[in-house]
Amino acid sequence: MSEMLALIKTDAKERMHKSIEALKAEFIKIRTGRAHPSLLDHIIVPYYGNPVPINQVANITTLDIRTLGVTPWEKNMVSVVEKAIRDSDLGLNPTNMGNLLRIPLPPMTEDRRRELVKVVRHEAEGARVAIRNIRRDANHELKKLLKDKEISEDDEHRVQENVQKLTDQFITQVDAVLAEKEAELMEV
């Protein structure tokens, strides 16, 4: 029985840790003023009525240190991809070269830095939500065990408190990772 409770805690901790690692991986992609194909990863493009990530409808390459190249796999997708990039929260302005969209990265102005700070804050909020969802899942499992009379109310309460402490720890980690990335983006 206590093995089951330990398993719930361990699972929650591992999944929360993965959320932090995913956030760090996202932040690595957000480079200050350097072209990197993953900069466009979060852009969603309508494809025959379905929203799909841009990298599922186009090839994204680095043309030079400050320019990305996006080549949609279908000719009719060029204008759709161009609009999605233009409307994104990245403040990019693609140039249509026929089958290729050239995307010059703007120099890192104060406004550009603030835009990227908004992007990283959005990513951090996504990580916080993921961590809270993991807590919810763990609490749901505990309630099910309690309902099935496999654990006592005291056990449920104790493990819920532990999961809440884990949640608080990992949200604090998200805030620390975010503060570090914001500082990196704002340094001139």
Asked if pLDDT for residue 169 goes beyond 80, the answer is yes
Confidence band (pLDDT; 50, 70, 90) for 32? low
Q: What is the dihedral of CA 66, 76, 90, 105, to 10 degrees?
A: 10
- pLDDT score at 31: 64
**Contact status, residue 95 vs residue 102, Cβ threshold 8 Å:** yes
Q: Quick one: CATH architecture of 37-104?
A: 2-Layer Sandwich (3.30)
Q: For position 188, what pLDDT does the model report? A: 60
pLDDT band, residue 185 (cuts 50/70/90): confident
DSSP-assigned letter for residue 89: T
Kindly report which listed range (30-39, 76-85, 113-122, 139-148) carries the lowest average pLDDT score.
30-39
Beta strands in the chain (DSSP E): 44-47, 50-53, 58-64, 67-72, 95-96, 101-104
Average pLDDT over residues 149-159: 91
CA distance 103 to 84: 13
Question: For a pLDDT cut of 90, what percent of the chain falls above it?
Answer: 52
Buried/exposed code over 92-107 (b: 16+ C-beta within 10 A; e: otherwise): bebeeeeebbebebee
pLDDT of 72 over the 60 cut: yes
Predicted local distance difference test score (pLDDT) of residue 89: 74
Give the mean model confidence (pLDDT) for residues 81-88: 89
Give CA angle at 131 (129, 133), nearest 5°.
Answer: 70
Domain boundaries, the chain: 2-29+110-186, 37-104
Q: What is the pLDDT of residues 96-124, one digit of tens each?
A: 988 999 999 877 788 878 888 999 999 99
* Over residues 140-148, mean pLDDT: 92
* Dihedral sign from CA coordinates of 178, 179, 182, 183: negative
Q: Quick one: pLDDT at residue 52? A: 92
pLDDT at 108: 77
- The per-residue pLDDT of the chain, averaged, comes to 89
Across 9-18, 75-84, 101-110, least confident range: 101-110
Q: Does domain 2-29+110-186 have CATH number 1.10.132.20?
A: yes
